[in-house]
């Protein structure tokens, strides 16, 4: 769960049709706008909520 996956590194699941391509200019602009947010750590409270959801899904 500590592994970071950036949107530019994400790959579609096998069998899914490829996503429509985002124009380069738009992708570049969005990366510049949100690059600081991408580097922020995930708050501990949010991590705890995600853990609760995972535990519930596993039946723990």
What DSSP character marks residue 15? Answer: T
The pLDDT score that the predictor gives to residue 43 is 95
pLDDT given at position 48: 97
Report the C-alpha gap between 52 and 56 in whole angstroms: 6
Provide the whole-model pTM: 0.41
Which tens digit of pLDDT belongs to each residue from 10-59? 555 555 545 577 789 998 999 999 999 989 999 999 999 999 999 999 98
Report the pLDDT value the prediction gives residue 36, as an integer from 0 to 100.
Answer: 92
């Amino acid at each position: 769960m500590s592994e970071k996956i950036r949107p530019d590194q994400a790959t579609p699941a096998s069998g899914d049709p490829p996503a429509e391509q985002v124009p380069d200019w738009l992708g570049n602009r969005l990366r510049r706008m949100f690059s600081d947010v991408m580097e922020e750590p995930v708050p501990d409270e949010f991590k705890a909520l995600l853990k609760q959801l995972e535990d519930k899904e596993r039946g723990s």
